[in-house]
Structure formats: C-alpha cells, structure tokens
Copies of this chain bind each other. A is one copy, B any other.
Amino acid sequence: MDVVLLTLQEGQLQVLLLKREREPFAGALALPGGYVHEQEDQDCADAAQRVLRDKLGLQSPYLEQLASFSGPGRDPRGWSVSVAFFALVPALADLPPGAQWRPVNRLPTLPFDHGSIVAAALERVRSKSQYSSLPVHLCPEPFTLPQLQAVYEALLGESINAVSFRRKMDELDVIEPIPGAKSSGGAHRPAQLYRVRGEFRERLRVVGRGLKA
C-alpha cells in the first residue's frame, strides 16, 4: 500500500517523499507506504490513513484509490502487489524529520515503481481537475475565488476564463460564501471568502462539461 500525498506550494504541485528507514532502498526517498494490519484496518484505504497518521501525523479528508501495481520487477524481493492511493491536502506547516515535499516536475529517480505511481496520480488529478471539484482540497480555508482559480490553473497548467470559472463553481455548488467574511490587505476591492460545504469534504462533484475541452 502506497500513498501519493500531494499539496500545492509556491504555485507548484508537490509530492511528499519520505526517507526510507529499512531495506530495500534504505536511505532513499520514496512514497509513504506500508503493509495492511489485518487487525486494525477495515480496508486498504484505512491502512493508507493509518500510514499518513503514524508517519506524518495528519489526516487527509480526501483520499482516493488510484490503482494497483503489480509484477515481479517492482520490488527486488520478488513478485508484489501494491494498492496505491492519492490524497490532497492544503500546504502544511511542519513535517516530521525525514519527510519532504518535492515538486512533481523535478523528482529524483524513485525506488520500486514509485515513479510510475506518481505519474499515474498526476494524470488522474489533472484529468479530474478539468471537470470536478477535486482541487478545492488543495486550498487552505477560507479562500477566495481568485485563489481557488489559481489552484486550478496551477493544476491544469493554463489560465482559465474567470467568468467561466465562477459559473462552473456555482454549478458545482461545492463551496459556499462565508457570510460577511471578506479578504483584506490589498489596496483594492476585497474578495468574498468561501469554504467547502460540509458534505463535500471527503467527496467531490463532477460536471458534464468541464472547464476546458
């Protein structure tokens, strides 16, 4: 079981890597992962949350199964299967020792088939960003619509029409304005602050027609 934990920092999508303590590949940076504990875990998703909690001290409201990776070559110890998940979190304050964020477009060569797993996660996340509310899970609350739009743009790698973006967010109906709360600071009109509606903290909503074709 492996987890691709993603966040957005400095306008860049970043993946969390952990220095491995045991062989094989001790000392190398790799995805957080572990084995299922049959006594504790109700399923593999449970195991993924447990790994995030134990190794990083965090819970991820949004966790989605990515795919399973299997074969004789992925682990030097022999034939293996791993169920991979991905999780999205807002930028974190501090990380435990041995953990670090790495921008996804400048990753070191990863052990096992973790490179392929990250690639699959990126493809899934970018694809779903086109037609779902998935990116809201990367945005620290409360957030403004322009901030959220910047998150979408970072993921999609292209600029989005602001009018279309507002219409789409309205249609998705996943975020709600916080009554009376406005951003402040700049020498300009403040923006309405929003939060994710409770029922979509752990789920997402899709629309038929996405932001881009």
Contact = CB atoms under 8 A, between A and B. Distances in A.
Number of copies: 2
Nearest to A69: B43
A147 interface: no
Contact of A68 (B65, B209, B212): B65
A17 to B, nearest CB: 23
A4 interface: no
A200 B152 CA distance: 31
A38 B78 contact: yes
Interface residues of A, number: 21
B83 A81 contact: yes
A79 B38 contact: yes
A207 to B, nearest CB: 8
Interface string A65-102: 10111111000001101010000000000000000000
Contacts of A213: 208-209
A79 B36 CA distance: 10
A79 B81 CA distance: 16
Contact of A36 (B44, B67, B81): B81
A208 B208 contact: no
Given A65-B67, A67-B65, A42 B208 contact: no
A210 interface: yes
Interface in A198-213: 208-210, 212-213
A69 B143 CA distance: 36
Contact of A208 (B43, B67, B72, B210): B210
Q: Which of A71, A72, A210, A212 has the most CB of B within 10 A?
A: A71
19 contacts: A36-B70, A36-B81, A38-B78, A42-B71, A42-B72, A43-B69, A43-B70, A43-B71, A44-B68, A44-B70, A44-B81, A65-B68, A67-B67, A68-B68, A68-B83, A70-B83, A81-B81, A208-B213, A209-B213
